[in-house]
Structure 1
Amino acid sequence: MSLLTAQGIYAGYGEADILQGINLTVGANEIVVIVGPNGAGKSTAMKAVFGLVPIRQGRIEYVGEDITNQPPERMVARGIAYVPQEANVFPSLSVLENLELGAYAIAGDITPRLEKVYEIFPRLKERRQQQAGVMSGGERQMVAMGRALMIEPRLLMLDEPTAGLSPRLIDETFERIREINALGIGVLMVEQNARQALAIADRGYVLASGRNRHEDTGAGLLADPEVAKMFLGG
């Protein structure tokens, strides 16, 4: 079953269309990765899906419902969570306060949701009273992902989740993404560490100049010599 389908999307900023008719599909419980060179439109694609960039042409469906150009708050209400690359935590608030803000629209006791997040990110429980702004880059990324999980999403969208992290933390982040996906949450991810991301992906898309250039399983893209030469550094 398709969780998310984007067809013929043209979108961008001002008068310029960064995306030139791209297509994307995320199946239920899939990890789907978008890779490509800088300026390919990868992050714009994520923002267009989440309602942060206006779509001028095309259609986006989520579990069969048209969500084209709906505002982010409606996306969240439907179970879509988005973690941007930058400015993704409230630095002056504690870890716990950040997580609680993720569930601001949830009525009732959020303790079970917190415990689920702590199971995936034990370090956040240990440091729940610590101010998010003084944490390392990897820890802030955990906070941002944990806050997104507080809505118990069906689809988690991650924009460059390993940007600026050490190799050890990159490995740890990908492992947490696999754990999240194993809970039945679909993942759509833009990632600069393309080889590692494709290694855990069910499927991947290569974008270039705002267009689809290649689509295959993660393993298929890794094994494609043209993709390797043009987009994966050989």
Structure 2
Amino acid sequence: MPLLDARNVHGGYGGMNILNGVDMAIEANEVGVIVGPNGAGKSTMLKAIFGLLNVSQGEILLNGEPIQNQPPNQLVKRGMGFVPQEHNIFPSLTVKENLQMGAYLKPDNVKRMLARIYEFFPPLYDKRHQPAGELSGGQRQMVAMGRALMAEPDLLLLDEPTAGLSPRYMNEIFARVKEINAAGVGVLMVEQNAKQALGIADRGFVLAAGQNRFTDTGAALLADPDVAKSFLGG
């Protein structure tokens, strides 16, 4: 049984569909990556999975149970974490306080999970008493990911986690994604840095106009000349 299984998903905003029959499935031990041109529906698909927009047709299963159109707070309880691209930290709170906010559903686990987050993201330990708004972009992204992990999700959704980051921090974030996945968390992320993201992907989904254009392993998509020509810049 896949960890996440989205079938024929349609949905959008204000009665206008952006998703026009998307299929997407990953296993618990996989990193899934969604790529495609601007306006393809990549971030919209993550929002549909996380209950932030109405799914008008199709179904989304988490661990075999239907979850479409459930509110985000219920999805967090059921094992899902979501890191939006923007406004994903509390700038005036310290790093530690940001992380603690992520454990509101499991307050008894704060100490243990803080230790685990600092293992994933060592720079955050030294900065734990510093306001998160003072950190670099890469470190702020680590805080946002760490806060989502504090609730111990089965599935972590990441919307453009390397947007605006230097190559160094981009590689750092991708390395941490692989570590998080190896620790037992399934990951599904949207990425503009398509080549690099597919390089760490077990499963890749290329969307265009709200539909699947290609679905395969990350390695197979990187090796596909049609994918390279149309979506990877050569």
Give the Cα–Cα distance (whole angstroms) in 2 for the partners of residues 102 and 58 of structure 1: 30
User: Which stretches of structure 1, 4 residues or more, deviate above 2 A after TM superposition?
Assistant: none
Tell me the CA shift for residue 199 of structure 1: 0.6
Please show how residues 47-196 of structure 1 align to structure 2 within 5 Å. 47-196=47-196
Cα distance per residue 1:140-181 (max 9 Å; x no partner): 000000001101111011000000000111111100111101
- Partners of 1:80 and 1:26 in 2: how far apart? 14
2-side partners of 1:126 and 1:41: how far apart?
Answer: 38
Cα deviation 1:189-228 (Å, max 9, x = unaligned): 1001001110111010000000110011000000000000
Letter in 2 for 1:132: A
**SS in structure 2 of the partner of residue 97 of structure 1:** helix
Q: Which ranges of structure 2 fall in alignment gaps of 5 or more residues?
A: none
Q: Aligned to 1:86, what secondary structure does the other structure show?
A: coil
TM-score when normalising by structure 1: 0.99
Residues 38-65 of structure 1: CA distance to partner in whole angstroms, max 9, x if unpaired? 0000000000000001111110111111
Measured in 2, the distance between the counterparts of 1:173 and 1:80 equals: 19
Percent identity between matched residues is 62
Q: Following the alignment from structure 1 to structure 2, what is the Cα–Cα distance between the partners of residues 62 and 109?
A: 23
Alignment: residue pair count: 234
Task: Name the SS for the 1:110 alignment partner.
Answer: helix
User: Aligned-pair distance for 1:182?
Assistant: 0.6
Q: State TM-score, norm by structure 2.
A: 0.99
Contact 2:103–2:109 (CA<8 Å) still a contact in 1? no
Deviation at 1:107, TM superposition (A): 3.5
Deviation at 1:109, TM superposition (A): 4.4
> Could you give the per-residue CA deviations for residues 107-161 of structure 1, whole angstroms, max 9, x where no partner exists?
4241010000000101111000110111111110000000011011110110000
CA distance in 2, matches of 1:92, 1:115: 22
Partners of 2:68 and 2:15 lie apart in 1 by 19
Q: In structure 2, what is the Cα distance between the partners aligned to 1:24 and 1:109? A: 32
Amino acid at match of 1:51: G
Q: Give the SS at the match of 2:195.
A: helix
Q: Which runs of 5+ in 1 are unaligned?
A: none
1:104 deviates by 0.9
Paired AA for residue 226 in structure 2: E
- Report the counterpart of residue 225 of structure 2 in structure 1: 225
1: CA distance, partners of 2:109 / 2:57: 41
Q: Structure 1 residue 184: deviation in Å?
A: 1.1
Letter in 2 for 1:153: P
Distance 1:162 1:109 in 2: 28
| 3-state secondary structure, aligned to 2:176 | helix
Question: Aligned equivalents of 1:78 and 1:115: distance in 2?
Answer: 23
